[in-house]
């Protein structure tokens, strides 16, 4: 069966898109931190995307993606009413959520969407959640309204100062850690350099820090080994052991190297797809 796109919205024109997909079986079991593997067509690759939200009653899941390569560009040609060939999930270990006190959720880029689902889970568990979101400028911020609807404190950082604090999310985080009596946990989701920087900030405070790794994945069920990462000196698989790990134990240098491993092939694939679209008038 196909998975119908019930809603498509460009959050940032030409860059970031949100889709609401009909997937009742996945929505029924999805929890914060879970992801899905999607395939557009029979000959397409499978890619992982963290579930940004789900509605069990409506039987839908929400995904947000950055148009950065051939597959996401192909996804962006689909319109409302169109279908994905495959959507497999929910996959991965869900976020460990318990009532613990104050939790700071930090999001950057499309990671804000995944962080939104986790922040909501912490609020529902009775935790006090402080959300920090960052982007280069105001027009690139995501999910401000959605987070504000359930999170009493949303702090913003922009590189150019067009909204909130002028600077990085880590600067806002450090201020919170210095002024709050006790922070039980920091959750960071976004670009790898941002997550690594968050871990450097929290380490001197001894604050538990959870990160969600966006490793390269092929099957999402632990068979291929493509998503392997080193955590605490051990080789683990992001798809079945994660995607969330103790940020202070992650080998970020190795992760960054692996993420760039197929950069050349990805660029060639995107170039061929662009030429194909031009020939077909898309």
Contacts of 99 (CB under 8 A, 6+ apart): 125, 126, 127
User: Do 122 and 183 contact (CB within 8 A), yes or no?
Assistant: no
Question: In angstroms, rounded to a whole number, what is the distance separating the alpha carbons of residues 260 and 230?
Answer: 16
Binding-site residue positions for [2Fe-2S] cluster: 224, 227, 239
Q: Where are the beta strands (DSSP E) in 96-184?
A: 102-108, 128-135, 153-158, 165-166
Annotated binding-site ranges? 224, 227, 239
| Residue among 251, 243, 235 at smallest CA distance from 215 | 243
Q: Which residue has tokens 């969330």? A: 244
Question: What SS3 state is found at 269?
Answer: helix
Pairwise CA distance, residues 139 & 45, whole Å: 31
């Amino acid at each position: 069966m196909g998975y119908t796109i019930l809603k498509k919205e460009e959050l940032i024109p030409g860059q970031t898109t949100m889709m609401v997909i009909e997937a009742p079986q996945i929505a029924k079991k999805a929890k914060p931190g879970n992801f899905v593997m999607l395939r557009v067509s029979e000959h397409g690759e499978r890619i992982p995307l963290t579930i940004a939200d789900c509605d069990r009653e409506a039987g839908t899941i929400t995904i947000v993606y950055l148009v950065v390569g051939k597959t996401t560009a192909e996804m962006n040609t689909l319109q409302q009413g169109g279908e994905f060939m495959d959507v497999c999930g929910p996959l991965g270990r869900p976020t460990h959520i318990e009532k613990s006190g104050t939790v700071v959720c930090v999001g950057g880029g499309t990671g804000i969407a995944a962080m939104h689902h986790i922040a909501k889970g912490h609020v529902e568990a009775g935790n006090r959640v402080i959300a920090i979101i960052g982007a280069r400028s105001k027009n690139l911020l995501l999910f401000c309204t959605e987070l504000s609807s359930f999170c009493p404190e949303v702090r913003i950082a922009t590189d150019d100062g067009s909204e909130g604090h002028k600077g990085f999310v880590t600067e806002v985080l450090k201020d919170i850690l210095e002024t709050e009596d006790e922070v039980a946990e920091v959750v960071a989701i976004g670009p790898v350099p941002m997550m690594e920087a968050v871990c450097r900030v929290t380490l001197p405070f001894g604050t538990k820090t959870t990160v969600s790794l966006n490793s390269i994945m092929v099957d999402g069920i632990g068979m291929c080994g493509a998503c392997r990462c080193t955590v605490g000196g051990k080789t683990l698989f992001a798809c079945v052991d994660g995607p969330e790990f103790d940020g202070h134990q992650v080998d970020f240098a190795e992760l960054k190297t692996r993420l760039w491993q197929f950069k050349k092939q990805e660029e060639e694939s995107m170039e061929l797809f662009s030429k194909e679209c031009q020939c077909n008038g898309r």
